[in-house]
Amino acid sequence: MLVAEVERIGDEAERDERSASRFAVLSRTTFVGGIVLTAVLFAVGGWNRRWIADDGLIVLRTIRNLLAGNGPVFNAGERVEANTSTAWTYLVWFFSWVTQARLEYVVLGIALTMSILAVIFAMLGSARLWGGTTSALLLPAGVLVYVALPPSRDYATSGLESGLVICWIGLLWWLMMRWARADRVRMPALFGLVFLAGLAPLIRPEMTLVGALALLMIFLAPMPESRLRPIFLRAFIVAVAGLVPLGYQIWRMGYYGLPYPNTAVAKDAGGAKWSQGFTYLWDFAGPYHLYLPVLLLLVVGVLAARLRRTHGERQPWTVRRFREWLRSPGAVVTMVIGAGLLLAVYALRVGGDFMHGRMLLPQLFLLLLPVAVIPIKLPAPGRGMNWALAGILLAWIGTLGWSLFAAGTTAIKTGTVIRPSGIVDERIYYVLNTGHDHPIRAEDYLDYPRIRAMVDDIAANPNGGVLLNSPSFMFWYVAPPPLPIPEGGAGHTVYFLNLGMTSMNVPLDVRVIDPMGLAYPLAAHTERLADGRIGHDKSLYPDWVIVEAGMVDVKPWMPWYLDEKWVAQARTAMSCPATEALLISYRDPLTWDRFKHNLLHSLTFAKYRMDRVPKYEIERCGLVNPYPDPPR
């Protein structure tokens, strides 16, 4: 009997081993299949909605100047950082230089590739969170919510840095989970992780929050075994993380004269517009009922964590225990969710954006990371399904149903009409305005109203001048340069809001500036309009441009709608010493003395604001008004 019992136990163990082996194969196959399915869905969805936005073309002007040897500038001879993401600028430049391919196709390929990699990294990190494929089936969930949203597929291409941002977030999440799960942390992997986290401010300035939280966790957690003492190892971590961003920051302050990109000055990224921010949030979440999958996946996360919870003796919290907890999956989850919520609050504070959904996509991606995939632990043979597992399955099915609904939803149906909120479906807006299903190349935007006429007017005026759009936005006026005209002409300046399509359809020797100030510091340093359209709430009067560009400033050569009095006042206002110092900071040749002066005064330049109405600016600066108001 004893021998029979031993043989029976052995047979059961062998069957259990075969069953476990079959489950492991099934689980790995399911997980890999889920990754492939999600990546294909996102790739097809992004490709079907491929385009490059006007803002996406802006970075390509800087790339053209880099490739031409003019430096990282928007207009040659003016050191202005017109792109928010430094990493995106140099990434596109590198692949453009390597491939020598057309810039629009380079940026399209990089953006789509990084968007796809982002969801793959998200799933890999989430799989690490739930313990891998050994104990449960891992099914795609949160990633399906993300790729189902039309804005996610719109900005999978677009030429903007959206794909880079979520790719960096996804990679950081995966590597943080590897660090938290590793039995022994290897030095190369640790330094690679901190280097990646340190790149945060170069990915996008607000991503500094995510990178800083990750670095703080690593710095405070117990150091891995090493020949170095922990204090020296922490010093190396700080050095590796800060080398590139700190070096670039010093260079930026000296080269551009600002501590952050000029776009942050133009949009007053520190300003508060809470009401508009909540309007933006509902504009994104409301049409898709986004709160439904978020709540369902919250339930899934709680139930899945409950199923995995081990009931051991609870230990009191101490400083040592807290530091040990920092290197745990739970701490990483807390970090990404906390970062997502804080960044969402920041987006609400600044008023969101004018592009539907775009500003909240990274926050949503962060919040969905823990449930990018969800674990389904099948019940053992002979055992029924428990309530927690049933709840997870029902929530997952509900998420799938929502994804099918959201994928075909159109949130904004006003086409080319910008609603009172100022928010627009940017892709549809340009598709309809250009007449191209996929506006990608610069010449596709020649069919945007006024752009082909701009190119023709530049060719028709070889002497040069400033091109100003008419008040009716129907055609262009050309303000001529004064005599004598130099050989080869005095050069052209285009003053128009849409920087991307204008700058990419003209040669590099044509200066392109905008009334909002993305590439034009004089406009960027004006005060924000309280009731202006979000993302467009600065607008410098063209009278300033006539003076600044040195054009003829009297009638009849000046466009009829400009005022000689205003132009004369603008000339006086521009003699304000602080304004002259600002202009010199980015126009003067870059000498060592200029670099040091910019470095020391960059914070002062960043804070400087002027009034867009010339006579008020004269008063602010204490200058003498050439046309004082008559006494009352």
DSSP assignment of 117-161: HHHHHHHHHHHHHTTTTSSSEEEE-HHHHHHHSHHHHHTTSBTST
Average pLDDT over residues 279-291: 94
Whole-number Å distance between alpha carbons of 613 and 156: 40
Of residues 223, 244, 273, 580, the one with CA closest to residue 421: 273
Which pair of tokens denotes residue 293?
């999958």
Q: How confident is the model at residue 534 (pLDDT cuts 50, 70, 90)?
A: confident
Sheet with 492-495, strands from edge to edge, namely 476-479, 465-469, 492-495, 511-513
Write down the pLDDT at residue 24. 76
φ and ψ at 109, to 5 degrees?
Answer: -65, -45
Q: With a cut of 90, say whether residue 137 has pLDDT above it.
A: no
Residues 6+ apart with CB under 8 A from 15: none
Range from 20-29, 146-155, 284-293, 474-483 carrying the lowest mean pLDDT: 20-29
Whole-number Å distance between alpha carbons of 370 and 389: 17
Sign of the torsion angle spanned by Cα atoms 615, 620, 621, 622: positive
Whole-number Å distance between alpha carbons of 88 and 102: 17
Write down the pLDDT at residue 105. 96
Instruction: Measure the CA angle with vertex 93, ends 91 and 94; round to 5°.
Output: 65
Range from 8-17, 210-219, 401-410 carrying the lowest mean pLDDT: 8-17
φ and ψ at 157, to 5 degrees?
Answer: -115, -110
Share of residues in the chain with pLDDT > 90 (%):
74
Residue 80 in contact with residue 262, Cβ under 8 Å?
A: yes
Whole-number Å distance between alpha carbons of 23 and 148: 30
Cα 18 off chain centre by: 49
Whole-number Å distance between alpha carbons of 253 and 246: 11
Q: With a cut of 80, say whether residue 314 has pLDDT above it.
A: no
φ and ψ at 303, to 5 degrees?
Answer: -65, -40
Whole-number Å distance between alpha carbons of 375 and 140: 9
Q: With a cut of 70, say whether residue 384 has pLDDT above it.
A: no
Write down the pLDDT at residue 536. 85
Average pLDDT, the chain: 90
Give the DSSP per-residue string, 511-526: EEE-SS-SS-HHHHTB
Q: Alpha carbon of 116 to those of 40, 42, 153, 272, 287: distances in Å?
A: 8, 6, 10, 34, 25
φ and ψ at 486, to 5 degrees?
Answer: -65, 160
Angle between helices 103-129 and 86-99 (to 10 degrees): 120
Whole-number Å distance between alpha carbons of 538 and 529: 6
Q: With a cut of 70, say whether residue 18 has pLDDT above it.
A: no
Q: With a cut of 70, say whether residue 19 has pLDDT above it.
A: no
Write down the pLDDT at residue 472. 72
Would you tell me how many other CB atoms lie within 10 Å of the CB of residue 437? Answer: 11
Whole-number Å distance between alpha carbons of 299 and 475: 57
Write down the pLDDT at residue 382. 54
Whole-number Å distance between alpha carbons of 243 and 238: 8
State pLDDT tens for residues 35-88.
999 999 999 999 999 999 999 999 999 999 999 999 999 999 999 999 999 999
